[in-house]
Amino acid sequence: MLQIAEIREHKDAFAKALQKRNIDAKLMLESAITIDEKRRGLQAELDETLAQSNKISKQIGELFKSGKPQEANELKAQTGELKERSKVLSEELNKAVEELQVVLYNIPNIPQESVPAGNSDEDNEVVSEHGEVPELHAGAQPHWELVKKYDIIDFELGNKITGAGFPVYKNKGARLQRALINYFLDKNTEAGYQEMQVPHLVNEASGYGTGQLPDKEGQMYHVGNEDLYLIPTAEVPITNLYRGDLLEEADLPIAMTGYTPCFRREAGSYGSDVRGLNRLHQFDKVEILRIEHPDKSDGALDAMVVHVKGILDELKLPYRILRLCGGDLGFTSTLTYDFEIYSTAQQKWLEVSSVSNFKTFQANRLKLRFRNGKKGTELAHTLNGSALALPRILAGILENYQREDGIEIPEVLRPYCGFDKIS
């Protein structure tokens, strides 16, 4: 959430920057400023009314002590009017605060200058490409055929017990899934990320804190009776561990990682782009998150990109790194790098990670601050990334490592799996 003080100071610059998102934000920004002016006016009038009421209350006490009850009772009538006025002002002020909050919640983050202009994922900028695309044998198959052939993932069973987009992992498929989770967590903890196990359900305040609400409300599973949400990513519960906290500068940086299942209603139903593991309603993901000093968050983002790059290098999967354009940038992000692996069997790129810097956008919602020496308190910066999302990594391994006599396991995963081939 943008800070209203910054909106007042940089309204025109913010409006211009948000054009990269293909948004004409002038009216939203002006509305926020207008409501805030009203809020400040009401706050000033309320403060003056309360101060006047307190002053008169002291005078009443002094008059009673001086034996002047008639004059004191006359002033009492004034305090009654002032109390009634302060009540009305408080109600109007609360309404203005709520109105301002609604407007601010619906303004997306400001893209950094390096974010390219564009309308969709077709306009994302390819930063670099890595690895070699393997040459597969004749008759190579996409993963949704391979999993049936080797009986390692069953989409029909998942559909039977829940519905489309909820696969059942079996036999060596389940073990490979577990191996990937453990491998990712080990790589992250070795890099200094503290492992966390967190709830898979969050309350509404947590959803607003990281920006999933109200932006992605329709994509989240809602448990109505309890007013809770199934998490779309571990980013939500882990970042909210520090909601409302005032940290010391020496506490920074805070680096965390966690494995969770993720739940999203957005999965489609038709076409090759949603077949098999390409898009699911429930999937596993290992996340990395950082809370950083504002002066160091840009460098931290670069380090996170290098970290994810190292994991994909060890898996020996062909991949590329993209800088997302304004039209494809997430609501809360100021800069995002996507990692895509190449599926030789499908002949397409599959997104496996997004690494983003949110600057103060989430911290302002979370009221996450730190003491910054003589400057007083300051909003921290938050960052997060997938390290990594499992379904498409698994699909990429199955398709790129397939041989005529089975599916080889990447060398780095063999100690975790306990086997080197699926056949």
Annotated binding site: 233, 264-266, 287, 351-354, 384
In this structure, what are the phi and psi dihedrals at residue 324, rounded to the nearest 5 degrees?
A: -70, 140
Starting at the edge strand found earlier in the chain, the sheet holding 194-195 runs 125-130, 319-323, 335-343, 348-359, 381-389, 282-292, 254-263, 194-195
Q: Between the CA of residue 149 and those of 140, 144, 159, 277, 421, what are the distances in Å?
A: 12, 9, 18, 15, 14
Q: How far apart are CA 124 and CA 110, in angstroms?
A: 17
> Do 130 and 152 form a contact (C-beta atoms < 8 A)?
no
In this structure, what are the phi and psi dihedrals at residue 31, rounded to the nearest 5 degrees?
A: -65, -45
> Do 384 and 288 form a contact (C-beta atoms < 8 A)?
yes
Which residues are documented as binding site for L-serine?
A: 233, 264, 287, 384
* DSSP output for 236-298: HHHHGGGTT-EEEGGG--EEEEEEEEEE-TT--SSSGGGSTTSS-SEEEEEEEEEEE-GGGHH
Q: Between the CA of residue 305 and those of 60, 308, 335, 398, 407, what are the distances in Å?
A: 67, 5, 12, 24, 29
Which residues are documented as binding site for ATP?
A: 264-266, 351-354
